[in-house]
Structure 1
């Protein structure tokens, strides 16, 4: 079997429904009305400014239907909308910058302790990467026991549990910071990849003349009691798409500085978490 956008999209949709909707908090009707009306007003303004035709309107309807049929709403929203939600939600923070989660997070990855190797296949393609760092509070104290959840794509741009033929927890792990907040992670450097283009999102990309590339990145979630959850992606210098990421998720503070050690690469990068606001 080969990976398809439809299969990946369906997996992302089902994962969202099982992991996120259960925790949904009811939004007041007044807030729903405000947001829905402003979104619709923006759509109406676009139609009027650009004299949208019925052919264009019907093409939009057909495309929206195909987004649902392909299960690509999580992909569409995470690629083109989430970065602004993240920006607004975290603008108060003093600690590390974060960025989007994306559609491929899975909770419950295997625990590896403070120092360990991410589960991977024998002879997993990619340059070996050793990543060390510490987790602290923005006030300075170390945060022993902090959780670092890591996941990333393989050298072909595929994520375990969202593409066939990949072991369940491949390139996914959870680490627990040591007594001084320290951690050491052994993994491989991921490759840049294109988001799925054989579904509805790919049709939009082709019709608009855009590219579909994401720069190479490591996904992380870092958490500790009494502190705000940090969700981020970490990038690599020199990537051709750091400046034009299709998901608009790259920030200068998230670009790593790896060093070659003759066997692979090493990098040091830590996290300062913001205390929960009272």
Structure 2
């Protein structure tokens, strides 16, 4: 699984994310009452109107906003924009009731159907994959402590250059993406490499906003996971590493103290222990 790659342009990455997302997302809300649609739409617009009035937005600023919104669409960066600056609040509201593990945003780079690797295995990776080897062990249980032997852990993350397979050219299709079942006792062991921090794409519309506002574009290093089991709520999370300078000011506002790992020195790399407690559906 060797390949070379270069950093994708925002348009390349954005087009991939948009295409992945362009499935029927409306079916789940097809029966939403018109009154709720009206309420949400009116309150969002009212917040925009209030901002305009409060800050006396000029026509030049308004026209710049229109041009920027058009560019977001042309660059295919709506998934990136929404996942970086909006999704963390939706996730907070949607999972506030949970008694099990804390989750966080999915982000724009999830791909379903990653290869099954069993309960003890390695994610697919290149022979010369960069990054410190990482062995991750844990268990999946219900809130009452019962091991969930039919659970699955989906893992995906960026490589040492901060790039994701299927969203950057030249990387093998399933590189650093795998699905892990668990053993009878709910345990799993995953072999991968420690990912690197990275900047979200900055040469497109989102990058223009970041530059104009004087923000940074960095995300701390993280592992993405989806943990599922029959009869339980799906958990989507990201796991972070202590000491990363952007844990405190993540551009996506997705870091939570409960999601920090505690790496230990291991045989030729690092080891971490982190398990999951799922809420009944």
TM-score normalized by structure 1? Answer: 0.97
Output the CA distance in 2 between the equivalents of 1:171 and 1:115: 15
Number of matched pairs: 275
- SS of 1:225's equivalent in the other structure is coil
Output the CA distance in 2 between the equivalents of 1:21 and 1:252: 31
- Closer/same/farther in 2, CA of residues 93 and 259 from structure 1, 3 Å limit: same
- Closer/same/farther in 2, CA of residues 23 and 183 from structure 1, 3 Å limit: farther
TM-score normalized by structure 2? Answer: 0.96
Output the CA distance in 2 between the equivalents of 1:67 and 1:243: 27
Q: CA deviation at 1:252?
A: 0.1
Structure 1 residue corresponding to 2:202, chosen from 180, 188, 197: 197
- SS of 2:29's equivalent in the other structure is coil
Match of 1:150 in 2: 155
Output the CA distance in 2 between the equivalents of 1:139 and 1:58: 55
Output the CA distance in 2 between the equivalents of 1:58 and 1:225: 50
Match of 2:240 in 1: 235
| Corresponding position: 1:87 with 2:84 | no
Structure 2 residue corresponding to 1:46, chosen from 48, 51, 68: 51
In structure 2, stretches of 5+ residues that fail to align are none
In structure 1, stretches of 5+ residues that fail to align are none
* Correspondence 1:163-202 to 2 at 5 A: 163-202=168-207
Output the CA distance in 1 between the equivalents of 2:28 and 2:168: 27
Runs of 4+ in 1 over 6 A off after TM superposition: none
Q: CA deviation at 1:21?
A: 2.2
* Correspondence 1:103-122 to 2 at 5 A: 103-122=108-127
Alpha-carbon deviations, 1:50-104, whole Å to 9, x = none? 0000000000000000000000000000000000000000000000000000000
Output the CA distance in 1 between the equivalents of 2:128 and 2:264: 22
